Every structure is written in C-alpha cells, then in structure tokens.
Structure 1
Amino acid sequence: MTASTRPGLSATAEEALREAMDRLFTGRPLRTDGKLTKQNLWREAGVSRATMNRAAAVLIDWDNHVSQSAASKHNQAQAAEIARLRRQLRDSRHERQRLQDEVDAAATVVAALIAENTALREQLAKRSAMVVPLGRGHAVRE
C-alpha cells in the first residue's frame, strides 16, 4: 500500500515511525527511555498518537517484532533457568559423591572395628579357658 492510498498518513510520518521503530529495536532511542511501548514509538517518531494509529502497516510490523522480542526474552529466560538447573544438578552430584565417600570411609572403619572386636572376643575366650574355677572347699577372702 502506498502513502497516497493511506488516508491521513504522509510518507514522512510513516518514515519517521519506521526510523523510530528501528532506533527503539536497536536500543538507540533519541527522545524516550527506550522501552518498547507504542507511547515511546510515537514520541520517538515525533508524531501524534493519532498519526501513529493511522499507520496500520507500521503497527502490524511493530506488534510482530515486539511479540518476537517477548518470545526471545522468554527463550533467554528459559536458557538461563536451564543453565541454573544444570549448575544445581552438577553441585548436587558433587555433594552426593562427597557424602558417598564419607559413607564408604565410615563403612571401612566399622568393618575394622568389627574385626578388632571379634579378635578381642577370641582372646577373651582363650583366657577364660585358662582360668581354673575355685572349688567349694577353698575359702574366699573378704
């Protein structure tokens, strides 16, 4: 559609809106804070809101780009969340391995203590066999 077939919209206004759109999308605003809002679009272009509203093709392009930007931000947020979860998983795996190492060390100590306890019981059993019980006729000292 040419400018002559768009009632009330000059080629200059459409060009100003498209240039403003480009500046806003590339982060180079001249007249606004750079947020991707329609209010910033018409202010950045230096046209009235009514003029912007008559630029249907510009607004369609604006809406398409802004929705793609929102999807891109959503994708970036998902990527950041995935990276955070991967770090958390890696840290959890390291912690699990550290705890498993502690359990293994404790099991080794327990096994050594059981072996030592068994040896001591055997020694005690041998000593008990060497003890001669006193008969009934022996006096017990008090």
Structure 2
Amino acid sequence: MTTTFATGTDQVSAKAEKALRAAMERLLAGRPTCTDGRLVKENLYREAGVSRATMNRAHDILTEWNHRTATTGARTPGEARRDDELQSLKRELKETKRERTDLQRRLDASATVIAALHHDNTALREELGDRGTVVVTLDERRSTREETIGPC
C-alpha cells in the first residue's frame, strides 16, 4: 500500500489532512460531532478521528489552527456569545445599581423634607391652638362647600 503525503511541510496522508481540516472547520464553526467543542488541540485530533501523533505531523494545519484559535482565546462561538452576553448584563447591572442609588438618595431627601414640613405644620397648629383660633380641616370644609355649590 502506498501512502501519499499532502503538499507543504505536512507529513500526513491526504485523507488525514482532509479529516483534520474538516474537524477544524466544524470546531471553529461551533458544530462539533465527537467532542465538547472547546477549541483545543485534543478536540482537533479527536474530532478528526486521527491520533495525536498524526496531528502533530500536520505542521501546516497546526500553524493554521494556532493562528485561527489565537483570536478566539480558545473559546467556542457559543462561549464567546455567552461571554459577550455576560459582559452586557454586567454593564446593565452596574447602570441599574447607579440608578437605584440615585433614586434612594432622592427618596431620602424627600423624606427629610416631608418630615420637616410635618414638624412645621404641627408647630403652626399648636401656635394657632394657643391663640384660640379654630383650625378647620379640609375634609370638613369640602363637605360644606359641596352642599352649598353642589357636585361638580
């Protein structure tokens, strides 16, 4: 049986080269058939169905593999999407926390103003009571007004 070697510096058969290239494309596309899809050399030779030694003799393919996986950080497309979504959610959470803190500050300031107004109102009622002036609540005044004017 005669073994033919692929061109270039690869010392593998054309069949092994074809299997390795097909496996590389499947892994890079995120469609593995035999592995978990991580972009590591172990998955490359297992996905191709060749031995590690055969893969190591495919110098051109390994150079291309190293070049193409360097930009992905050995992440599958699914992992890259997940990481991008995670970063987006972290930014959104940070913005939401900032908004919540701002709203809490505004709420605290409003509560302080309301407490001060309540204190002032109580003090004014006491002062009016000391003078002997009768304070009429708004509810009493409204009911008297409706009887005089009628419903709107």
Q: What 5-or-longer segments of structure 2 have no aligned partner?
A: 133-152
Aligned pair partner of 2:68 in 65, 68, 80: 65
CA contact (8 A) 2:23 2:47 kept: yes
Q: Percent same amino acid among aligned pairs?
A: 31
Aligned pair partner of 1:13 in 4, 16, 34: 16
CA contact (8 A) 2:27 2:44 kept: yes
After TM superposition, the score normalised by the length of structure 2 is 0.61
Return the alpha-carbon distance in structure 2 between the equivalents of residues 77 and 34 of structure 1: 16
2:35 alignment partner in structure 1: 32
CA deviation map 1:57-82 (0-9, x unaligned)? 11111112222222876796366334
Aligned pair partner of 2:99 in 68, 72, 93: 93
Rg comparison, structure with higher value? 1
Q: What 5-or-longer segments of structure 1 have no aligned partner?
A: 128-142
Q: Which amino acid aligns with 1:35?
A: R
- Secondary structure of 1:53's counterpart equals helix
Q: 1:65-84 residue pairs with structure 2 within 5 A?
A: 65-70=68-73, 77=83, 80-84=86-90
After TM superposition, the score normalised by the length of structure 1 is 0.64
CA deviation map 1:4-59 (0-9, x unaligned)? 45363222221111011112222333333333221221122122211111111111
Return the alpha-carbon distance in structure 2 between the equivalents of residues 112 and 78 of structure 1: 51
Tell which deviates more after alignment, 37-46 or 23-32. 23-32
Cα RMSD (Å) of the superposition?
3.3
2:136 alignment partner in structure 1: none
Q: Which amino acid aligns with 1:108?
A: I
